[in-house]
Chain A
Amino acid sequence: MAALINVPARAKRGDVIEIRTLTSHIMETGFRHTADGKLVPRDIITSFTCRYNGAEVFRADLFPAIAANPYLSFFTVAKESGKFEFEWIGDNGYSSTASASIIVE
Protein backbone atom coordinates (compact mmCIF):
# COMPACT_ATOMS: atom_id res chain seq x y z
CA MET A 1 0.00 0.00 0.00
CA ALA A 2 1.00 3.52 -0.56
CA ALA A 3 2.92 5.17 2.21
CA LEU A 4 4.40 8.64 2.48
CA ILE A 5 7.60 8.83 4.47
CA ASN A 6 9.39 12.00 5.42
CA VAL A 7 12.94 11.54 6.70
CA PRO A 8 15.65 14.16 6.19
CA ALA A 9 18.11 12.98 3.53
CA ARG A 10 21.09 14.33 5.48
CA ALA A 11 21.73 15.14 9.11
CA LYS A 12 24.61 15.98 11.41
CA ARG A 13 25.62 13.30 13.88
CA GLY A 14 23.70 13.77 17.11
CA ASP A 15 20.91 15.85 15.57
CA VAL A 16 17.37 15.14 16.70
CA ILE A 17 15.39 14.52 13.52
CA GLU A 18 11.66 14.31 12.95
CA ILE A 19 10.20 11.37 11.06
CA ARG A 20 6.73 11.63 9.62
CA THR A 21 4.79 8.75 8.13
CA LEU A 22 1.41 8.50 6.49
CA THR A 23 -0.08 5.31 5.12
CA SER A 24 -3.35 4.72 3.36
CA HIS A 25 -5.76 2.58 5.33
CA ILE A 26 -9.49 2.76 5.96
CA MET A 27 -9.18 2.16 9.75
CA GLU A 28 -12.72 0.79 9.93
CA THR A 29 -13.67 1.06 13.59
CA GLY A 30 -15.96 -1.97 13.90
CA PHE A 31 -18.55 0.23 15.58
CA ARG A 32 -20.34 1.45 12.46
CA HIS A 33 -23.50 0.00 10.94
CA THR A 34 -24.70 -0.05 7.36
CA ALA A 35 -28.06 1.54 6.55
CA ASP A 36 -29.76 -1.87 6.97
CA GLY A 37 -28.31 -2.34 10.44
CA LYS A 38 -25.41 -4.72 9.81
CA LEU A 39 -22.25 -4.13 11.80
CA VAL A 40 -19.27 -3.30 9.61
CA PRO A 41 -16.42 -5.54 10.80
CA ARG A 42 -13.34 -3.95 12.28
CA ASP A 43 -10.38 -3.47 9.94
CA ILE A 44 -7.61 -1.38 11.45
CA ILE A 45 -3.85 -1.17 11.67
CA THR A 46 -2.93 -2.36 15.15
CA SER A 47 0.80 -1.88 15.23
CA PHE A 48 3.46 0.37 13.73
CA THR A 49 7.20 -0.11 14.15
CA CYS A 50 10.17 1.97 13.05
CA ARG A 51 13.64 0.40 13.00
CA TYR A 52 16.87 2.32 12.49
CA ASN A 53 19.57 0.05 11.10
CA GLY A 54 17.72 -2.91 12.60
CA ALA A 55 17.15 -1.47 16.07
CA GLU A 56 13.64 -0.48 17.09
CA VAL A 57 13.43 3.25 17.82
CA PHE A 58 9.67 3.75 17.89
CA ARG A 59 6.62 1.51 18.18
CA ALA A 60 2.93 2.33 18.41
CA ASP A 61 -0.16 0.29 19.28
CA LEU A 62 -3.08 1.75 17.39
CA PHE A 63 -6.79 1.54 18.22
CA PRO A 64 -9.98 2.35 16.30
CA ALA A 65 -9.76 5.91 17.66
CA ILE A 66 -6.87 6.61 15.26
CA ALA A 67 -8.14 8.45 12.18
CA ALA A 68 -8.22 6.84 8.73
CA ASN A 69 -4.89 6.93 6.87
CA PRO A 70 -2.82 6.88 10.05
CA TYR A 71 -0.35 9.73 10.38
CA LEU A 72 2.47 9.47 12.88
CA SER A 73 5.25 11.88 13.66
CA PHE A 74 8.06 11.14 16.10
CA PHE A 75 11.73 11.90 16.72
CA THR A 76 15.02 10.09 16.82
CA VAL A 77 18.71 10.94 17.12
CA ALA A 78 20.73 10.67 13.90
CA LYS A 79 23.54 8.32 14.90
CA GLU A 80 24.89 6.84 11.70
CA SER A 81 24.13 6.62 8.02
CA GLY A 82 21.77 3.86 7.12
CA LYS A 83 18.21 2.86 6.69
CA PHE A 84 14.91 3.37 8.45
CA GLU A 85 12.44 0.55 8.04
CA PHE A 86 8.77 1.03 8.73
CA GLU A 87 6.20 -1.69 9.23
CA TRP A 88 2.45 -1.53 9.66
CA ILE A 89 0.54 -4.60 10.84
CA GLY A 90 -3.22 -4.86 11.05
CA ASP A 91 -6.42 -6.89 11.04
CA ASN A 92 -7.09 -9.57 8.42
CA GLY A 93 -3.39 -10.24 7.98
CA TYR A 94 -2.62 -6.71 6.82
CA SER A 95 1.06 -5.97 6.54
CA SER A 96 2.89 -3.20 4.76
CA THR A 97 6.47 -1.95 4.81
CA ALA A 98 8.44 1.04 3.64
CA SER A 99 11.96 2.32 4.06
CA ALA A 100 14.02 5.48 3.81
CA SER A 101 17.75 6.12 3.96
CA ILE A 102 19.70 8.85 5.67
CA ILE A 103 23.26 10.13 5.39
CA VAL A 104 24.75 11.20 8.70
CA GLU A 105 27.88 13.37 8.60
Chain B
Amino acid sequence: MPTTRRQFLSLAGSVTAAGTVPIITLRPLEATPAMLTTAIRNVVGEAQIRTGKVKLDIPPLVENGNTVPMTVSVASPMTANDYVKSIYVFNEKNPQPNIGNFHLGPAAGRAQVSTRIRLADTQKVVAIARLSDDTFWQVAADVVVTLAACTEEMN
Protein backbone atom coordinates (compact mmCIF):
# COMPACT_ATOMS: atom_id res chain seq x y z
CA MET B 1 0.00 0.00 0.00
CA PRO B 2 1.47 3.39 -0.88
CA THR B 3 2.13 5.65 2.08
CA THR B 4 -0.04 8.72 2.12
CA ARG B 5 1.31 12.12 3.02
CA ARG B 6 -0.78 12.11 6.19
CA GLN B 7 0.63 8.78 7.36
CA PHE B 8 4.17 9.86 6.65
CA LEU B 9 3.75 13.13 8.54
CA SER B 10 2.23 11.50 11.59
CA LEU B 11 5.03 8.92 11.61
CA ALA B 12 7.71 11.57 11.19
CA GLY B 13 6.07 13.60 13.93
CA SER B 14 6.05 10.73 16.39
CA VAL B 15 9.70 9.90 15.67
CA THR B 16 10.66 13.50 16.27
CA ALA B 17 8.66 13.69 19.47
CA ALA B 18 10.24 10.46 20.76
CA GLY B 19 13.68 11.84 19.94
CA THR B 20 13.04 15.16 21.62
CA VAL B 21 11.87 14.01 25.04
CA PRO B 22 15.23 12.68 26.34
CA ILE B 23 17.03 15.60 24.73
CA ILE B 24 15.24 18.08 26.94
CA THR B 25 16.16 16.18 30.10
CA LEU B 26 19.78 15.45 29.12
CA ARG B 27 20.78 18.75 27.64
CA PRO B 28 20.57 21.73 29.97
CA LEU B 29 23.36 23.59 28.17
CA GLU B 30 21.77 24.13 24.79
CA ALA B 31 22.16 27.52 23.22
CA THR B 32 19.09 29.66 23.42
CA PRO B 33 17.74 31.96 20.71
CA ALA B 34 19.16 34.77 22.89
CA MET B 35 22.66 33.30 22.48
CA LEU B 36 22.06 33.14 18.74
CA THR B 37 21.12 36.80 18.70
CA THR B 38 24.19 37.71 20.76
CA ALA B 39 26.49 35.71 18.49
CA ILE B 40 25.05 37.42 15.44
CA ARG B 41 25.39 40.86 17.05
CA ASN B 42 29.05 40.09 17.87
CA VAL B 43 29.70 39.72 14.16
CA VAL B 44 27.33 42.29 12.71
CA GLY B 45 27.45 44.97 15.37
CA GLU B 46 24.67 47.49 15.02
CA ALA B 47 24.41 47.12 11.26
CA GLN B 48 21.10 46.28 9.70
CA ILE B 49 20.70 42.73 8.42
CA ARG B 50 18.65 42.38 5.26
CA THR B 51 17.05 39.22 3.98
CA GLY B 52 18.02 37.96 0.56
CA LYS B 53 21.03 37.33 -1.70
CA VAL B 54 22.13 34.38 0.45
CA LYS B 55 21.07 30.83 -0.30
CA LEU B 56 21.39 28.04 2.24
CA ASP B 57 21.15 24.48 0.93
CA ILE B 58 20.57 22.09 3.78
CA PRO B 59 18.27 19.07 3.99
CA PRO B 60 14.99 19.96 5.74
CA LEU B 61 14.89 16.57 7.46
CA VAL B 62 18.04 14.78 8.61
CA GLU B 63 18.28 11.44 10.32
CA ASN B 64 21.74 11.91 11.77
CA GLY B 65 22.70 15.27 13.19
CA ASN B 66 26.36 14.25 13.36
CA THR B 67 27.01 15.06 9.75
CA VAL B 68 24.67 17.34 7.85
CA PRO B 69 25.80 18.54 4.43
CA MET B 70 25.37 22.26 3.96
CA THR B 71 26.10 24.69 1.13
CA VAL B 72 25.92 28.46 1.40
CA SER B 73 26.03 30.58 -1.73
CA VAL B 74 25.67 34.30 -2.21
CA ALA B 75 24.45 36.10 -5.32
CA SER B 76 27.43 38.33 -6.04
CA PRO B 77 29.39 39.20 -9.20
CA MET B 78 32.64 38.70 -7.21
CA THR B 79 34.47 41.54 -8.92
CA ALA B 80 37.18 43.68 -7.33
CA ASN B 81 34.59 46.28 -6.29
CA ASP B 82 31.64 44.08 -5.43
CA TYR B 83 32.38 40.83 -3.65
CA VAL B 84 31.57 38.78 -0.57
CA LYS B 85 33.98 39.31 2.31
CA SER B 86 32.72 36.66 4.70
CA ILE B 87 30.00 34.14 5.29
CA TYR B 88 28.97 33.34 8.86
CA VAL B 89 26.82 30.36 9.79
CA PHE B 90 24.98 30.09 13.11
CA ASN B 91 22.62 27.67 14.81
CA GLU B 92 19.93 28.12 17.36
CA LYS B 93 20.14 25.16 19.73
CA ASN B 94 23.59 23.54 19.71
CA PRO B 95 25.58 24.10 22.93
CA GLN B 96 27.37 26.89 21.07
CA PRO B 97 25.72 29.23 18.53
CA ASN B 98 28.60 29.39 16.00
CA ILE B 99 29.08 26.86 13.22
CA GLY B 100 31.73 28.42 11.02
CA ASN B 101 33.07 31.68 9.63
CA PHE B 102 34.33 31.62 6.06
CA HIS B 103 36.45 34.43 4.67
CA LEU B 104 36.63 34.88 0.94
CA GLY B 105 37.61 37.72 -1.33
CA PRO B 106 37.33 38.87 -4.92
CA ALA B 107 39.75 36.09 -5.92
CA ALA B 108 37.16 33.46 -5.04
CA GLY B 109 35.29 33.91 -8.32
CA ARG B 110 32.18 32.36 -6.87
CA ALA B 111 30.77 32.98 -3.40
CA GLN B 112 29.95 29.45 -2.39
CA VAL B 113 31.12 27.27 0.50
CA SER B 114 30.17 23.71 1.41
CA THR B 115 30.90 21.76 4.55
CA ARG B 116 29.34 19.23 6.90
CA ILE B 117 27.96 20.31 10.23
CA ARG B 118 26.54 18.96 13.48
CA LEU B 119 23.09 19.73 14.75
CA ALA B 120 22.11 18.83 18.31
CA ASP B 121 18.39 19.31 17.86
CA THR B 122 15.64 20.29 15.49
CA GLN B 123 16.39 23.93 14.93
CA LYS B 124 17.01 26.92 12.75
CA VAL B 125 20.29 27.49 10.88
CA VAL B 126 21.17 31.05 9.91
CA ALA B 127 23.70 32.14 7.28
CA ILE B 128 24.85 35.75 7.09
CA ALA B 129 27.01 37.23 4.33
CA ARG B 130 29.10 40.35 4.67
CA LEU B 131 29.59 42.07 1.33
CA SER B 132 32.42 44.37 0.31
CA ASP B 133 30.24 47.44 1.00
CA ASP B 134 29.79 46.13 4.59
CA THR B 135 26.12 45.35 4.21
CA PHE B 136 24.84 42.15 5.79
CA TRP B 137 22.41 39.73 4.18
CA GLN B 138 20.90 36.69 5.80
CA VAL B 139 18.84 33.60 5.23
CA ALA B 140 17.46 31.06 7.68
CA ALA B 141 16.47 27.42 7.22
CA ASP B 142 14.64 25.06 9.53
CA VAL B 143 16.05 21.58 9.94
CA VAL B 144 14.31 18.65 11.61
CA VAL B 145 16.86 16.35 13.27
CA THR B 146 15.87 12.86 14.42
CA LEU B 147 19.24 11.79 15.91
CA ALA B 148 21.04 14.56 17.75
CA ALA B 149 24.78 15.27 17.74
CA CYS B 150 27.35 16.98 19.97
CA THR B 151 26.42 15.98 23.49
CA GLU B 152 25.68 12.27 23.38
CA GLU B 153 27.54 9.93 25.73
CA MET B 154 30.73 8.25 24.65
CA ASN B 155 30.83 4.49 24.63
Q: Which residue numbers of A lie inside 8 Å of B, CB to CB?
A: 16-17, 29, 31-35, 40, 52, 55, 57-68, 70-77, 79
In the complex, A63 Cα to B91 Cα: how many Å?
A: 11
| Choice from B101, B107, B118 contacting A52 with Cβ under 8 Å | B107
Q: B81 near A: Cβ within 8 Å?
A: no
Number of A-B contacts (CB under 8 A): 114
Residue of A nearest to B155 (CB): A35
Contact A77 B107 (CB under 8 A): yes
3 nearest A-B residue pairs (beta carbon)? A16-B109, A73-B114, A67-B116
Q: What is the size, in residues, of chain B's interface with A at 8 Å between Cβ atoms?
A: 37
Contact A66 B29 (CB under 8 A): no
10 pairs from A and B in contact (CB 8 Å cutoff): A29-B151, A32-B151, A35-B153, A60-B113, A62-B100, A63-B99, A65-B98, A73-B114, A76-B107, A76-B108
Contact A57 B108 (CB under 8 A): yes
Most chain A CB atoms below 10 A, which of B67, B98, B109, B111 = B109
Answer whether A67 and B100 are a contact pair too, CB < 8 Å, given A72-B115, A74-B112. no
Known interface pairs A32-B151, A64-B94, A66-B115; 20 further A-B residue pairs with C-beta atoms within 8 A, sorted by A's residue number? A29-B151, A33-B153, A35-B153, A40-B154, A57-B107, A60-B100, A60-B101, A60-B113, A60-B115, A61-B101, A67-B115, A67-B116, A68-B67, A70-B115, A72-B114, A74-B102, A75-B108, A75-B112, A76-B107, A77-B107
Q: Which residue numbers of B lie inside 8 Å of A, CB to CB?
A: 29, 66-68, 71, 91, 94-96, 98-105, 107-119, 149-155
* Whole-angstrom distance between the Cβ of B25 and the nearest chain A Cβ: 14
* Whole-angstrom distance between the Cβ of B17 and the nearest chain A Cβ: 23
Contact A74 B113 (CB under 8 A): yes
Contact B105 A57 (CB under 8 A): yes
Contact B100 A63 (CB under 8 A): yes
Contact B150 A31 (CB under 8 A): yes
In the complex, A55 Cα to B112 Cα: how many Å?
A: 19
| Choice from B103, B110, B111, B150 contacting A64 with Cβ under 8 Å | B150
| Choice from A35, A65, A68, A71 contacting B114 with Cβ under 8 Å | A71
